[in-house]
Amino acid sequence: MEPVRVMALAVLLSLYILLALINPRLAGINERFRKFIKSRRNIRMRPLMIFTHRWNDAPMLSLQVLLISLAVGFTTSEWLRPFILSAAMFWQTTLVSVTKKLSAISRPPQDLTHRIMKSGSYPSGHTAAAATFALLAPSVLAPYLSLPTIILISVYLTFNALITAYGRLYLDVHWLSDIVGGGLLSLATRVFVGIYLP
């Protein structure tokens, strides 16, 4: 493993853990940002925000990953890249679940959500999953598709990740620090996967 990659992974994971530890000290910043989002919320966007929640929820995202993995595997007879994508998403989801239980950070009041979330707040699993998918899927598909197609996929997945992250704040189910934590974890996952992705 290259020293630069090891250093980047160590820094990202350290920041991810540090953010969980100092989260109580960020209450003021989180609350101010929550009020900022709340004051600028357009209620007509609520159906879209709910859709991003469902589209990037564990069952739906797992189905998307499975379909891509099977499509690549069966059409190219190469299973390494699909396996790496599936394993990375599973690893990231598991780490999110463990962190939520260990950090046990309370969620915001959830005043606009369609479903009350009972799990811990940190990190945002939807943000982490959507961002990780956006960072990994184009790399996995790159050898098999044209550059314009990969660019279109990347643009769509990046937009999906950004709107999903905003949706967590819009629906009042996550704090700003949860979104940042999800982003850090997705970057760490991408760096780690880069070791194995040919």
**173 closest CA partner among 101, 104, 95, 112:** 112
Is residue 26 in a domain? Answer: yes
Residue 106 lies in a domain: yes
* Residue 97 domain flag: yes
Is 157 a member of any domain?
A: yes
157-193 confidence digits (pLDDT tens): 999 999 999 999 999 999 999 999 999 999 999 999 9
Has residue 183 been placed in a domain? yes
Is residue 198 situated within a structural domain?
A: no
53's CB contacts (< 8 A; 6+ apart) are 114, 126, 164, 167, 171, 173
Q: Is residue 71 part of a domain?
A: yes
Q: pLDDT value at position 118?
A: 87
> Residue 186 is encoded by which pair of tokens?
């997705």
Domain containing 125 equals 3-193
pTM: 0.93
Mean pLDDT by 10 residues, the chain (198 residues): 89 97 96 96 95 93 95 94 95 95 93 86 97 96 96 98 97 97 98 86
Q: Can you give the C-alpha Rg of the chain in angstroms? A: 17
Considering its fold, how many domains does the chain have in total? 1
